[in-house]
Amino acid sequence: MKYKNSQRNSNQNTKIASYWSKLALVWDPMLRLCGLDQKYRKDAISVLCPEKGQTVLDVACGTGLNFHYLFNGVGSNGRIIAIDIAPGMLEKAKIRAQNNGFNNIDFILGDVSEIELPKVDAVAACWCMISIPDYPKALENIVESLRPGGKIAILDFKRIDGFFGHILNPLFEWICRITYQDITREPWHDLKRLLGNVQMREWKYGAILSSVYLAWGTKT
């Protein structure tokens, strides 16, 4: 399934790819400094329950920080398909794969909402649904790629609930806008529409600073 892209979306994708390619230079140390990545990422992969020999899709794979967890699940006889819109991120991911001996990874450069995806058993989408320009179409494409019984896990930021949300959400929305992101999105609703039964958990990152959520479900 391939989607035609408007000129506006094409220009936007070019800007986004350039932005994230530059950020690839500092992405790993930045996440380590923030302390927000490893625990949440590990939990996201764990709900997928990847099994030996399966094929998994790593959406917006970035520098490949999911690879270790995915490889432990599918093993050397499985297959990991890593896709990212930013060439700089993908180059870092390829180096990580090579350095760790992950020889079963196929790399795809492109927007996940626009390209034809192979059939997979599981999908990990970490820290990307607020960044993908046409995320509803991306979700439709991803779910279409899932085999029956296949699982998807979305890990990302969301707006803060309650009193502090009224104070801090406008600031976070502004920060996201200038970094080509949209924290107002609620893709778990789209996931429920596409899959039916969806589970969700949420963490308060830094007490009141922001909220991190994990939404996951299975294709029937």
Where helices occur in 24-162 by DSSP H, the ranges are 27-34, 38-46, 67-74, 87-100, 135-145
- pTM check: above 0.85: yes
Q: What is the per-residue pLDDT across 156-205, written as a single tens digit (0 to 9) for each?
A: 999 887 777 788 888 888 888 889 899 999 999 999 999 988 999 998 65
CA contacts within 13 A on the Cβ side of 27: 20
Average pLDDT over residues 58-62: 97
Where in the chain does DSSP place strands (E)? 55-59, 79-84, 105-109, 120-126, 146-158, 198-205, 210-218
The share of the chain scoring above pLDDT 90, in percent, equals 71
pLDDT at 20: 95
DSSP 3-state of 178: helix
* 125's tokens: 């989408």
Pick the more confident residue, 175 or 208: 175
Q: What is the per-residue pLDDT across 126-137, written as a single tens digit (0 to 9) for each?
A: 999 999 999 999
Return all residues near 117 (Cβ < 8 A) that are at least 6 apart.
Answer: 1, 57, 81, 141, 142, 144, 145
Distance CA 120, CA 50 (A): 11
